[in-house]
Amino acid sequence: MITFDIHIHTRRYSGCSFIDYEDIVGQAAAARLDGIAVTEHGMRWPDEEFGRLRKMAADRGIVVINGQEINTFNAANRSEGEFLVFGVHRSLTRACSATELIQTVHEEGGIVIAAHPYKLSRGGRSHYYGAGDLVYKLKLDGIELCHPDHSELAMKKVKKAMDELKIPGTGGSDAHKILNIGSCVTIFDNPVSDEVDFIKEIRAGRIRAEKR
């Protein structure tokens, strides 16, 4: 059983985060995690810089995955939700729709996970920070089930989407503060030593989500 928190932001590249990237490895170890994914808003860490973080983590026996969280917009410039992207080796900075994002990522061999699709916004019970029911129209590889801001009702909606779309549910803390790392996790059935394993196991659905 391999435990990852696959949704973490640092202040290095996410201005809304309070987490110094130097601290995430120690906190991951304290939270008894085998791995983490860094998913900065709107960008992916440069490879050379991320390599140093990966080495620092490897010295503690922790695998680190380089991802990104991308906000999408329709033709009217309204948000279609945020998505976790893995396996694309560049920052996806161009504004696009959710469908366009997924097409681009799949063409480049990556995967897309709908981030907190039913997290309520201040707009009320039918407005979300995530994709909401748009998930049913998208060719997703996964959907975030366990998230600190997902209520029981939200999780029920995600489970329904998982069943109908036949995609796995993931867990991630969406941490912006250090002590939140590891509060929601993705459990992998098989060992994960790098990005290739990470993507393969999610695609195969050999994972489950858990709140801790």
Q: Are 144 and 153 in contact (CB under 8 A)?
A: no
How much of the chain exceeds pLDDT 90, in percent? 95
Average pLDDT over residues 145-159: 96
β strands within 23-162, DSSP E:
35-41, 63-73, 79-86, 111-114, 120-121, 124-128, 142-146
Question: Which tens digits make up the pLDDT trace of 99-134?
Answer: 999 999 999 999 999 999 999 876 554 578 899 999
Q: Which two tokens stand for residue 71?
A: 């906000």
Q: Which residues of 91-124 are buried (b: 16+ CB within 10 A; e: fewer)?
A: bbeeebebeebbebbeeeebbbbbbbbbbbeeee
Domains of the chain: 2-211 (3.20.20.140)
Average pLDDT over residues 127-156: 95
What pLDDT does residue 126 have?
A: 55
Q: Which of 32-41, 120-129, 154-163, 186-195 has the lowest mean pLDDT?
A: 120-129
Question: Which tens digits make up the pLDDT trace of 24-61?
Answer: 999 999 999 999 999 999 999 999 999 999 999 999 99
How much of the chain exceeds pLDDT 70, in percent? 98
Q: Are 110 and 100 in contact (CB under 8 A)?
A: no
Average pLDDT over residues 203-209: 98
pTM exceeding the 0.85 threshold for the entire prediction: yes
What pLDDT does residue 120 have?
A: 87
